A and B are shown apart, each in its own frame.
Chain A
Amino acid sequence: MMQEQKARKTGYRIIRYSPWLVHFNTGACNGCDIEVLASITPLYDPERFGVKLSPSIRHGDILVVTGAVTKKAADRLKRLYDQMPCPKFVVAVGACAIDGGVFSKSYSVVGGADKVVPVAIYIPGCPPRPEAILDGLVKLLTALREEEVQNNGCS
């Protein structure tokens, strides 16, 4: 038990200093995608928080989900989440990733990202500004320091 807690603490500490993002579009309109892309550019400079886009899902710590989850993308999202190493967290960016947004009543949309994977932080907006996305990430990192985030996907 003690050992488990210790391991979790170490894992959280490592992520806190340099979280690597993986971005997955589950059926977004691209609005959130370009804002996620814009928020990794020099004007907003996320590298001061150690934030960096990771080249592969297997290197990622934080999964950024944009867009309403369509039925076809839902099992892809689950599969991607299972492939990430522990501990792992999901950030839902934009109104559609939170609950489906304007598309929630469509026949091919499941709903928000939390219907498929556990979500740690929701960032509202249509689309959220890059500052808001960075703010959400920093809030997640703060919560990690306080160890407030319980669901790291592999307890």
Chain B
Amino acid sequence: MGITKVVEIPVVTTEVPIGPQHPALHEPIMLKVYADGEEVVKVEVNTGYNHRGIEKLCEKNTFYRDIFIVSRVCGICNAVHANCYVRALEQILDVTPNRRAKFLRVLSMELERIHSHMLINAVMAEIVGFETLFMQIMLDRERVMKAKEILTGNRVSADYMMVSGVRRDIDEVKRDKIKEILLKLKSKIEYYKKVFEEDETLVKRLVDVGRVKYEDATSHSFVGPLARASGVRIDSRASDKYDAYDEIPFNVITRTEGDSWARMMVRWDEILESIEMGIYILNNLPSDGNPVPDERRLPRRFPPGEAYTRVEAQRGELTYYVMSDGKTQNPYRVKIRTPSFNNIVNSAFMYVKHTLADVPVILTSIDPCISCMERVTLIDLEKGVRQRIPLKQLSSGGRK
């Protein structure tokens, strides 16, 4: 049952296991790096340390309880997970929330996008050894956490989404406070973006590292900032127009460089977009009724049906498939496909031909969310086509 070794490992290569507990990684993933001197020849991604069997758990619990389980697939993106699942339920039940609830949902998801992108940019600064910048960004990230706490009631997992609405409303005072925080944040973000653009240390470590071409991005099913940095315009906010995204103006950020630096820049630009969207939402918050539904009046019987929803999480397109057979209180099948799942499993080819010191940089630039990825799975990795790399070709420098 072993995996067929496709790449011949020459005798001189060194095997360097990175992880699952490693100072550069905050999450349990194990990269088995085969190096020839300083140069990476092959990478295997070994995971499974975080597999919690969530899809099976969802089948064992009721539709409403699952909202709490799916928002704990990933703490960093809990609002988008819950939103995607809740919208699938709304499709099956045929109910829609009112406009105010839709706007508030979008606001909570955009705040989450801001803090997640700031976190990964800060971690990137730490990985390349720029610890001061890490501390600075984390300090400003606390402002966003405060705004999120004002809106949803908790810093991280708030279980803000409900079927046909949200769990809390905001009043004028809270609205002004969030707006003030966002306005203050904007100038800071512009400054950090400039640092990433101009600072010599960062530029030297990031530019031309882990380049992905357009065709590679689509054939390996990459999504999110990873694909957008390679020029692939995938953004389910723009195409699916779920919740209030059809009313809120925003731009889809793409770049063409495709290297680690471009991926970080896409994230900074998206933060600026998100701040604009947040301010627009707060200025134009509709008041067409109470966004908080009465939990006791929600429908208890689910008709048979199925729904497939997509949402643009911080790391890319997140999809949920929910099926109800109409006989029980539990879903018949819940399938979660997280963006990190595609991005990490299929990424092994990116490391080849770089030095060992670049491995953490490339991994961080993907924004790996191991909890997301392994809710069910993960496997080893040299992927299909590209792994047949004859050593000769490697040494001749042709990166094929």
Contact = CB atoms under 8 A, between A and B. Distances in A.
On whether A and B touch (CB less than 8 Å), the answer reads: yes
Interface of A: 22-35, 37-38, 41-43, 55-57, 67-68, 70, 72-73, 76, 80, 101-103, 105-109, 126-127, 129
B69 A31 contact: no
Nearest to A109: B52
Given A29-B75, A31-B72, A43-B139, A56 B23 contact: yes
A41 B157 contact: no
Interface stretch (B43-51, B206-214, B305-313): B43-51
Nearest to B369: A30
Contacts of B68: 102
A110 B78 CA distance: 23
A33 B49 contact: no
DSSP majority for the B interface?
Answer: loop
B169 interface: no
Nearest to B156: A31
A34 B139 contact: no
Given A31-B72, A102-B57, 6 more contacts: A25-B370, A30-B75, A35-B155, A37-B26, A38-B145, A42-B138
Given A25-B26, A76-B20, A108 B139 contact: no
Contacts of A24: 21, 28
B23 A76 contact: no
A30 B53 contact: no
Contacts of A28: 50, 75, 371
A103 B68 CA distance: 11
Interface residues of B, number: 38
A103 B156 CA distance: 18
Nearest to B57: A106
A37 B369 CA distance: 15
B157 A72 contact: no
A73 B49 contact: yes
Contacts of A105: 57, 60
Given A38-B142, A102-B68, A107-B53, A30 B48 contact: no
B161 to A, nearest CB: 16
B380 interface: no
Nearest to B126: A37
A32 B75 contact: yes
A74 to B, nearest CB: 10
Interface string B42-76: 00000011111110110010000000110011111
Pairs of residues from A and B, 5 with the lowest C-beta to C-beta distance, nearest first: A31-B75, A41-B138, A106-B53, A30-B75, A29-B75
Given A30-B76, A106-B52, A106-B56, A76 B21 contact: yes
A154 to B, nearest CB: 20
A150 to B, nearest CB: 26
B36 interface: no
A127 B20 contact: no
A95 to B, nearest CB: 10
Contacts of A107: 53, 56
A87 B92 CA distance: 56
Contacts of B20: 73, 76
Nearest to A127: B156
B21 A80 contact: yes
B27 interface: yes
Contacts of A73: 20, 28, 49-50
B135 interface: yes
A25 B370 CA distance: 10
Nearest to A40: B138
Nearest to A68: B52
B119 interface: yes
A34 B76 contact: yes
Contacts of B139: 41-43
Contact of B49 (A26, A41, A57, A103): A26
B26 A29 contact: no
A41 B56 CA distance: 37
B72 A29 contact: yes
A31 B53 CA distance: 18
27 contacts: A22-B21, A25-B370, A27-B52, A28-B75, A28-B371, A29-B73, A30-B371, A31-B72, A32-B75, A33-B26, A33-B75, A38-B141, A41-B141, A42-B139, A43-B142, A70-B51, A70-B52, A72-B51, A73-B28, A73-B50, A102-B69, A105-B60, A107-B53, A108-B51, A127-B75, A127-B155, A127-B156
